Amino acid sequence: MKQKSLIITADDFGLWPEVNDAVFAGYDAGILTSAGLRVGAPAAKTAMVSAAMRPDLGVGLHLVLCGGTATLPSRDIPNLVDSSGRFVERPLEAIWLYRRGGGLREELKAEIRAQIERFLASGLFLTHISSVYHLHLHPTVLAIIRELACEYPISAIRKPCGGLWRFSRHRALPGWQRRSEAIVVRPMLAWGRLRARAFAGPDRVEPLNRVRPCTEYGLAARLREVGPGTTELICHPGSLLGRFDGVGEAAAVTSSTVRDALACSDLEMISYRDLAEGMG
């Protein structure tokens, strides 16, 4: 492996057909190497079938434990979701809620298990685990993942996430909410990074683009900033969510300019599968 290794991951795989199309186009262009799959999302089944035809695409589980719908029915996890099966919307709420023990922890474990099993039922190789709002590094959630790693093939997770969170948190929030989240989330991510040593993972995790709009020339220049070790760059190509530049990132990850920049660089393109199999 070269001194500098790079993983480019698309999150929210399976969320919409537009995201799936962008992920496959980015992979076929030789730029995207990994994807994080939401197993309960509307386009997840299509994503699974098409990903199976691209065995070199590293596909991991993008856990949804906040701001989305659970895999299990609400009657099985009544303390975890509302009557429609949705989790709480804000990460700060989830962080506080998941501190509770007892029955809620068992419900949380059952839901995480269900998402893992739905992923594995697709026949895909589970390369890694990440999550919406980085909640896989929450003390309770990470402890559950460590337990489940004794039963399921979990060997790599996304870590560290501090730099990515600072970039991706909602800028539209009032100042006091941003400060509150910072007070709670930063220690959680730092704690999670230390406790996740048993799992393989990149040395640093950063956004694909730090400014909007994302452009092919901006991304090509960004590649020159990648430091030694293994770096993961996160993107959301094709996303319809306003907080992401789905159109710009979809164009960037299919750009011949970016592909040529990678070819001329000293970067080795790898996927989470390389890390999971001990080759990273």
Domains and CATH numbers, the chain: 4-276 (3.20.20.370)
Arithmetic mean of pLDDT over the chain:
90
9-54 pLDDT, tens digit per residue, is 999 999 999 999 999 999 999 999 999 999 999 999 999 999 999 9
pLDDT at 209: 87
**What percent of the chain is predicted at pLDDT more than 90?**
74
Mean pLDDT confidence for 204-223? 92
The packing angle between helices 17-28 and 44-52, to 10°, is 20
Q: Are 61 and 39 a contacting pair, CB within 8 Å?
A: yes
Residue 194 has pLDDT above 80, yes or no: no
Confidence of residue 62 (pLDDT cuts 50, 70, 90): very high
pLDDT for 91 equals 85
Residue 183 pLDDT greater than 90, yes or no: no
**pLDDT tens digits along 237-256:** 999 998 899 999 999 999 99
Mean pLDDT of 218-235: 94
Give the pLDDT band (50/70/90) at residue 1: very low
The full DSSP string for the chain is --SEEEEEEEEEETS-HHHHHHHHHHHHTT---EEEE-TTSTTHHHHHHHHHT-TTSEEEEEE--SSSB-SS-TTTSTTTS-TTSBPPSSHHHHHHHTT--THHHHHHHHHHHHHHHHHHHTT-----EEEGGGGGGSHHHHHHHHHHTTTS---BB----HHHHHHHS-TTS-HHHHHHHHHHHHHHHHHHHHHGGGSB--SEEEES-SSSS--HHHHHHHHTT--SEEEEEEE-TT---TTS-HHHHHHHTT-HHHHHHHHHSSEEE--HHHHHTT--
Confidence category of residue 228, pLDDT binned at 50, 70, 90: very high
Q: pLDDT value at position 176?
A: 53
Give me the pLDDT at residue 182, please. 64
Band (168; pLDDT cuts 50, 70, 90): low
40: number of Cβ within 10 Å = 19
Q: Given a cut of 80, is residue 5 above it in pLDDT?
A: yes
Tell me the pLDDT tens digit for each residue of 99-145.
877 789 999 999 999 999 999 999 999 999 999 989 999 999 999 99
Name the residue with tokens 């919409």. 16
CA distance 227 to 212: 22
pLDDT band, residue 2 (cuts 50/70/90): low
Question: Which pLDDT score is estimated for 181?
Answer: 65
State yes or no: pLDDT of 172 exceeds 90.
Answer: no
What is the spatial distance between Cα 58 and Cα 60, in angstroms, rounded to a whole number?
Answer: 7
Contact 186, 179 (CB under 8 A): no
